[in-house]
């Protein structure tokens, strides 16, 4: 009888606790930090890539100097002995390494990045589980948005998730497709020598982007 009474009391206590929950306890926070760039351990969650993997001459590095610094050199030239054929060179990027499971941003509507740049335009990419039909069909789906970073002071770029367009190898696909924000497998930041809004720095040369954090925001 004592065991039954203990079980009953425990169940009753749990029920009372559940009934006492407030609505705000069930609501996700207005923001959540996805990535920070303050230690070498933070940087281990990212890997670099560049056109040099395909015979290009661009290069990039990622290091800690109080915050993360993504920098390097963009070149539109190709190595003379390259066996690859590219439509264009002059790009570098950093992509988060995939961990177990998915990043679920369903409760949020905006991605925010605290950055300090060089007047160039960068590309923010969200990689989701492959469910959109693309040629080959084996790659993650990619959704991209431009991030123009003014030169000088720290700046918080806020990008609504609806602004991310589905792309395949740099080309925009059917813009009516919708992202599934609950099945995110990774994120990227990249830069091309060409492209960007009027007034942005373009062309071959040095680039430098400082990154403090990346957060998801719930603005509505």
Domain residue extents for the chain:
29-217
Mean pLDDT of 56-82: 90
* CATH classification code of 29-217: 2.60.120.430
Mean pLDDT of 65-81: 90
pLDDT at 7 over 50: no
pLDDT band at 70 (very low <50, low <70, confident <90, very high): very high
Which residues, at least 6 apart from 116, have a Cβ–Cβ distance to it below 8 Å?
149, 152, 153, 154, 155, 209, 210
Question: If residue 149 lies in a helix (H) or strand (E), which one and from where to where?
Answer: none
pLDDT at 161 over 60: yes
> Burial letters for 12-49: b for 16+ Cβ neighbours within 10 Å, e otherwise?
eeeeeeeeeeeeeeeeeeeeeebbbbeeeebbebbebe
């Amino acid at each position: 009888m004592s065991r039954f009474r203990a079980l009953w009391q425990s169940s009753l206590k749990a029920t009372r606790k559940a009934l006492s929950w407030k609505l705000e306890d069930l609501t996700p926070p207005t923001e959540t930090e996805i990535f920070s760039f303050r230690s070498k351990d933070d940087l281990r969650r990212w890997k670099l890539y560049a056109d040099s993997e395909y015979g290009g001459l661009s290069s990039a590095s990622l290091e800690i100097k109080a915050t993360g610094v993504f920098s390097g050199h963009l070149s539109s030239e190709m190595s003379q002995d390259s066996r690859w054929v590219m439509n264009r060179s002059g790009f570098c990027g950093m992509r988060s390494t995939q961990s177990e499971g998915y990043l679920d941003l369903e409760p949020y509507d905006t991605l925010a990045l605290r950055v300090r740049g060089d007047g160039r335009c960068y590309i923010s990419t969200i990689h989701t589980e492959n469910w959109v039909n693309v040629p080959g069909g084996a790659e993650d789906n990619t959704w991209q948005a431009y991030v123009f970073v003014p030169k000088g002071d720290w700046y918080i770029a806020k990008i609504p998730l609806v602004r991310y367009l589905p792309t395949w190898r740099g080309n925009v696909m059917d813009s009516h497709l919708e992202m599934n924000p609950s099945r995110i497998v990774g994120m990227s930041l990249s830069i091309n020598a060409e492209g960007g809004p009027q007034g942005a720095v373009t062309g071959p040369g040095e680039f430098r982007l400082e990154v403090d954090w990346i957060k998801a925001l719930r603005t509505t």
